Structure 1
């Protein structure tokens, strides 16, 4: 799945469920991924601290703060930009 611009999808604050973060191509209409990783990769990242921890909204409802997801995307873009700079500096 391809990632899409978050400004069109995420509000400034609130909560977002996992299917809206990693996408779900089986729904009608399909939900595009904001962060294109598998469900198991996402949960492994949560466990390792790479991805933000969820909030339990109820006994069977888990969600993430929109602010945490936006911060994750911002950090990822900064790291990607720094890595691109490192590769152009060494050439």
Structure 2
């Protein structure tokens, strides 16, 4: 199953194309289902909701990016390192927001 770019909203289509994920529907579905797609730099709350709607995944929280953000700083660094190692662009949260 491929992602049909015409059925996606322009915001979601642009975000996935910038992340290089337009042709990888299985990977995108797994990331949306787990919520880990919120770690990508260009995926915000609205884009996440649109992708949930597209894939038929239940979107629980209003702010999924906050919900899936680990509180533990060591774990957060491990997540960032893992995602960067798999070719994703990740925005690191500033230190002032973590305190």
* TM-score using structure 2 length: 0.27
State the structure with more CA Rg.
1
More helix by share: 2
- TM-score norm. by structure 1 comes to 0.29
